[in-house]
Structure 1
Amino acid sequence: MNGVDLFRLGRALTRIGEAALPVDGLPEYPGGHRAVLIVIADLEQHGESAVGEIARRTGLPQSAVSGAVARLREAKAVELATDPRDRRRSLVRPSAEPSERQRVVAASTIDAAVADALGPDRADEVAETVAMLAELGRRLAPSNRTEPDGRP
């Protein structure tokens, strides 16, 4: 595997992840879910941050981050607080309790999306592929890593 192969795999995994997201009963938003997922992942990794900081770290335009933050606030997944060092600025942080949307997503599985990606002739490989993806996520996803003392 080389860098191009890895990039293609990443794109395929992104498509599978997007297909696995539950969307029933949710309003349609322009831009899809990608910016929202990038923003919430950044907040989980870096904690309370200003919109400009999130934009700088993620490479998303500040307008896309602002839109994602608005959607996340509407879903009660993030909260805003006034920056104590600059009262004109707001800081975004994950909500203390998971939102209903986060609970629905956490309870969903990727099995159907993986089955679609593998195709009908390989339905017997779904469970094995899901297990391999779970192991890969455990090894590589920053939010799944823990320090030697057990802290994230």
Structure 2
Amino acid sequence: MNGVELFLLGRALMKIGEEALPPPPGGTGRHPGGDRTVLVVASDIADHPDTTASEIVARTALPQSQVSSAVARLREAGSIETAPDPGDRRRVLVRQAAEASARVAEVRATGIDEALLAALGPDGAPRLTEVAQALDVLARNLRHAR
């Protein structure tokens, strides 16, 4: 595998991941591009608790406006909590919520088998377990790689 093949695989996995997500509330079944930004920000917050929006911008290279919008959406959904930084009351710290909201619990509980089967095609069922196990290995080894 070369860099281009890895990049294309990553895009294919992102599409499968999007298909695996439950549809947005009141949505048409497809997630708009902003939802992908929210997922990136949520992942960064999970990896870096008690962080600030500026630190998220630095790590993700997303524009400040997109990070701020994603933080607001995550807070509204009950996925994260914000609090003043005790060391500098002008800064706001962001962390995962202590208790997951119903929507967050739904998203986290959604499996990927159906989306994987669709991606594997009509003769993919015999390979489903092998592919799911390979994804588990990749996730275990690369989840925190940046």
Q: What is the 5 A alignment of 1:1-150?
A: 1-23=1-23, 25-26=25-26, 31-142=33-144
Mapped contact 2:52–2:92 kept (Cα < 8 A)? yes
| Alpha-carbon distance change, 24 to 53 in structure 1, aligned in 2, over 3 angstroms | closer
| Alpha-carbon distance change, 24 to 63 in structure 1, aligned in 2, over 3 angstroms | closer
Structural RMSD (CA)? 2.0
Q: Which whole-Å CA distance do the structure 2 matches of 1:65 and 1:48 have between them?
A: 15
Q: 1:111 offset after TM fit, Å? A: 0.7
Count of aligned positions: 143
TM-score w.r.t. the length of structure 1 is: 0.84
Q: Matched residues, percent identical?
A: 52
Mapped contact 2:78–2:104 kept (Cα < 8 A)? no
| Alpha-carbon distance change, 88 to 63 in structure 1, aligned in 2, over 3 angstroms | same
- Structure 1, unmatched stretches of 5+, are 144-152
- Structure 2, unmatched stretches of 5+, are none
Q: Which whole-Å CA distance do the structure 2 matches of 1:58 and 1:118 have between them?
A: 31
Q: Which whole-Å CA distance do the structure 1 matches of 2:20 and 2:47 have between them?
A: 22
Residues 85-138 of structure 1: per-residue CA shift (max 9 Å, x gap): 332221111111222222112221101111111111323222221122112212
Q: Which whole-Å CA distance do the structure 1 matches of 2:135 and 2:64 have between them?
A: 32
Mapped contact 1:50–1:89 kept (Cα < 8 A)? yes
Mapped contact 1:83–1:91 kept (Cα < 8 A)? yes
Q: 1:32 offset after TM fit, Å? A: 3.6
Mapped contact 1:18–1:33 kept (Cα < 8 A)? no
